[in-house]
Amino acid sequence: MSRAATSLLVRLGAACQRSLGVALADTAAAPSCSYTTFAAGALSAHAPALRLCSLASSGASPSWLPSSGAGTRGPSGLAAWPASTRGFASGGDPRPEAPEYFVGLGNLRDNPGATRQRIRVGRGDSGRRNKYGGRGMKGQKAHGRGPHILFDGGQLHWLKFPVTRQRPSYEVLYAQLGLSRVAEFVALGLLDPSRTITMKHLYDSGCVTSNIKYGVMLYGKARLSYPLDLQVTACAPESRASVEAAGGRVTRVYYTREGLGAVLHPEKFTERRLPLPLPPPRWHPRHDAKFDAIGLIPPAVQHVQATAM
């Protein structure tokens, strides 16, 4: 071996001895443990066991165990654990306390009431969970649902409890038509402003796209430079004011449901060679403020003349 390698090993051994001496000096001050040190020459034979620590055999308990006055001693001479240290130390903890028996793999079980006993199935023909399920063998109650609580032998059924349905106002059921749309169709040449524009003209030209079942209601405002003569079922006040400001007029005509169908689709009567229905003689007194005239079948068409403004 060279001289440099020998010097390096000597310096390395000296550093290890100094480190070991410092470590043994620090650990010798511990009061609860006793240490056995080895001579420098014996380190090679006992290299794995550099420090041996054993509890004192005099019966003195370590500092991390409860004092001997807090409880009884166990079989090893150490103080027994108090009851409060087996669970959480705080007294207000809602968790259940530890069981009073030794828990092992052979006696693990859930808390009382945490599980329910299973239903025993398959115990006889009339059992709860077997062949007939407690319903009997045949009949309406066994095959399906039984009669309802209002069943009375199939006599009057629901006639004993008449159902009254509230019908909405006719203004909600009317086909809505804006005055600006009428002016647009007049500007496109689809409606003739020189003649009376009836609900049939509005329907045939496509101005009203929905099915007119109860009538047409005119709403909205528009600036008109020419007079219009309109026949609709209902009209908003601002729409009437806009039409009258241009020298026209709006007539709220009254039709029955059959009469309105004859006005919109007269071919349903003529193809079967049936006469058109007659207009109603009058309307109900509660509709006095809703209509201005009774509609004719077919409706009368007149030429419009500008009135003095």
Domain ranges of the chain: 170-294
Q: Are residues 129 and 119 in contact, defined by beta-carbon separation less than 8 angstroms?
A: yes
Q: Other C-beta atoms within 10 Å of 126: how many?
A: 13
Q: Percentages helix, strand, coil for the chain, rounded to the nearest 5?
A: 30, 10, 60
Q: What is the pLDDT of residue 196?
A: 93
pLDDT over 60 (residue 142) = yes
pLDDT-wise least confident of 66-70, 135-139, 204-208: 66-70
Average pLDDT over residues 278-297: 89
Average pLDDT over residues 75-94: 48
Cα–Cα distance between 215 and 173 in angstroms, integer?
Answer: 8
| Full-model pTM | 0.46
Higher pLDDT, 24 or 117: 117
Name 14's Cβ contacts closer than 8 Å, sequence gap at least 6.
none
Two structure tokens written together for 242:
């806009």
Instruction: Give backbone dihedrals phi and psi of 197, rounded to 5 degrees, phi first.
Output: -95, 110
Report domain 170-294's class.
alpha beta
**Residue that has been written with the tokens 């009061």 in this structure:** 31
pLDDT over 70 (residue 106) = yes
What secondary structure letter does DSSP report for 219?
A: E
Helices 237-245 + 179-187 axis angle, to 10: 40
Q: Would you place residue 148 in the very low, low, confident or very high pLDDT band (cuts 50, 70, 90)? A: confident
Q: Are residues 276 and 260 in contact, defined by beta-carbon separation less than 8 angstroms?
A: no
